[in-house]
Structure 1
Amino acid sequence: SRSVRMLAYELETLERLNAHYLVLHPGRAVGQPLGEAIEIASKGIRDAVKASGVKKRILLENTAGQRGDISSSIENLSEIAQRAGADSIAGICIDTCHAFQAGYNITTTEGVAELLDKVKTLLSPLRIELIHLNDSKRPFSSGLDRHEHIGRGYIGMEGFCRFLNRKEIKGIPLILETPKNTEKDDMENLLKVKALFEDNGC
């Protein structure tokens, strides 16, 4: 299929660039049961890895749960990872806005613990290898993928402080996926994140 060929091409490109990982949204259930959609996506991943010969470089990313997303829950991510196989999946990328929208309340100590415990329990030996860091324009568990500047959304500075200062998060690379309306936006968001790492009083 076209999607398998595209994924195989991206894996080959990643290899040529000597990049570490390819972050993948596994897809959506469109007119089919969830289990069937998960199997189609998992087989597509297996086929692309086989065609490219590039193994263990894919990070599965959690999604927000909109329009039939099949990877908004840690349970579904675990099933996709298992079906795709150990040769395919290198780990997980957690997107903070997506997690918040999918029902993981990372603004609270308990919510962060729930998310990280599920990752450890359901996905081990896979680990979180990357975090997409962004606030949420929409209230908790809305199922909408709407990114916001750090501290300006519904996760807020206190929520990010609790999340980023967990020992399980320390040392994991972060990528900002915040809006960029002006040239200074990225630097402002970076400075906010830096301040959060310096403040352990959440």
Structure 2
Amino acid sequence: MQYLGAHMSIAGNLCNAFEHIRAVQGTALQIFTRNQRQWKIPPLSSQEVADFLAAWEDWGEYPVVAHDSYLINLAGNKDEAVQKSIHAFTEELRRIEALSISGLVTHPGSHLGDGPEKGLQRYVDRLDRCFAESETSRGMVLLETTAGQGTNLGARFEELAWIIEHSQYPERLGVCLDTCHVFAAGYELRTEEGYQQTRDQFERILGLDRLQCVHCNDSKGELGSRKDRHEHIGRGTIGSQGFANVVNDPALAQIPFILETPKSKDLHEDVANMQALWDLVRH
């Protein structure tokens, strides 16, 4: 585990995220590139881009990923929301390319009652449309594993594999594994044997080369609960042993680990969660 950081706020200025991650001595960063609670997307000025790149260089040669807006649902069935989602995701792709961010983490969306097959097909068709309309060439889309709440897609590795297999842009698709989500979806992490089985399934179905990011979050819900409820490291139902299995996997040593655990305004909880993970690393 060489790269460990957290999702940080950009409130006020994109560059503020670098101040926050430096304050907790993080070596990986995840941000929203805009206000994710709004459909309106202001254009990035050349000065904003230059300032962001300068702040990143000043911080260090550490990985930065972005997360798209939670409003976006490319698998939905409501025309107005779908059109807004396509426009918004297209803009997200343009923004990460402008900011030289290599990965855009996204949830595969919700079928809203029409069933996984229809939802997955709609998702792939619209994702490909976004790639084409964005006229971008560099940024990777990192499909995030989900807990499977409601009609959400992406709780099974097979669903993410289906998206990759059927997209016209497989070379631009990777995976972000969220520990809380996979555990809530029924994948065991707590024992060495259980973790190995989960890892083997991931490798067989998706391939470890697709894994580009890990969200480290403990879970308030039980194994297979399908509840997306994050908890502090070691204080949830995954527990310290589960995270020891993850952070000591040599295959993940170069992959950024990002905390999305509950936050405090003074960031002391990020520091505590990072320390909890570092304490589990075997030297």
How far off its partner does 1:84 sit? 2.1
2:121 aligned partner? 39
**Aligned: 1:92 with 2:175:** yes
TM-score (norm 2): 0.67
Which of 195, 217, 222 is the aligned partner of 1:139? 222
**Kept in 2: contact 1:96–1:132 (CA 8 A):** yes
Structure 1 letter corresponding to 2:256: P
How far off its partner does 1:122 sit? 1.6
**Aligned: 1:20 with 2:116:** no
Which 10-residue stretch deviates more, 56-65 or 106-115?
106-115
Which 10-residue stretch deviates more, 121-130 or 104-113?
121-130
Which 10-residue stretch deviates more, 34-43 or 55-64?
55-64
Which structure 2 residues correspond to residues 5-154 of structure 1 after superposition, within 5 A?
5-55=87-137, 57-87=140-170, 89-124=172-207, 126-154=209-237
How far off its partner does 1:130 sit? 0.3
SS in 1 for 2:279: helix
TM-score (norm 1): 0.93
For these two proteins, the number of residue pairs brought into alignment is: 199
Which 10-residue stretch deviates more, 90-99 or 54-63?
54-63
Q: Distance in 2 between matches of 1:121 and 1:129?
A: 16
Change (3 A) 1:151 1:182: farther
**Aligned: 1:196 with 2:280:** yes
Fraction of identical pairs, as percent: 35
Q: Distance in 1 between matches of 2:161 and 2:170?
A: 15
SS in 2 for 1:168: helix
SS in 1 for 2:280: helix
SS in 2 for 1:49: helix
Which 10-residue stretch deviates more, 54-63 or 133-142?
54-63
Structure 1 letter corresponding to 2:245: R
**Kept in 1: contact 2:128–2:169 (CA 8 A):** no
Structure 1 residue ranges without an equivalent (≥5): none
Which 10-residue stretch deviates more, 78-87 or 40-49?
78-87
Q: Distance in 2 between matches of 1:87 and 1:76?
A: 14
Structure 2 letter corresponding to 1:141: G
Q: CA RMSD of the aligned region, Å?
A: 1.6
How far off its partner does 1:121 sit? 1.4
Structure 2 letter corresponding to 1:173: P
Structure 2 residue ranges without an equivalent (≥5): 1-82
Q: Distance in 1 between matches of 2:262 and 2:106?
A: 20
Q: Distance in 1 between matches of 2:167 and 2:85?
A: 15
SS in 2 for 1:23: strand
Which of 220, 236, 242 is the aligned partner of 1:159? 242
Structure 2 letter corresponding to 1:76: E
User: For residues 89-142 of structure 1, what are the alpha-carbon distances to aligned partners after superposition, in whole Å with 9 as ceiling and x for unaligned?
Assistant: 331100000000000011122221222222221223742110000100111110
Change (3 A) 1:128 1:149: same
Q: Distance in 2 between matches of 1:114 and 1:40?
A: 31
Q: Distance in 2 between matches of 1:127 and 1:88?
A: 10
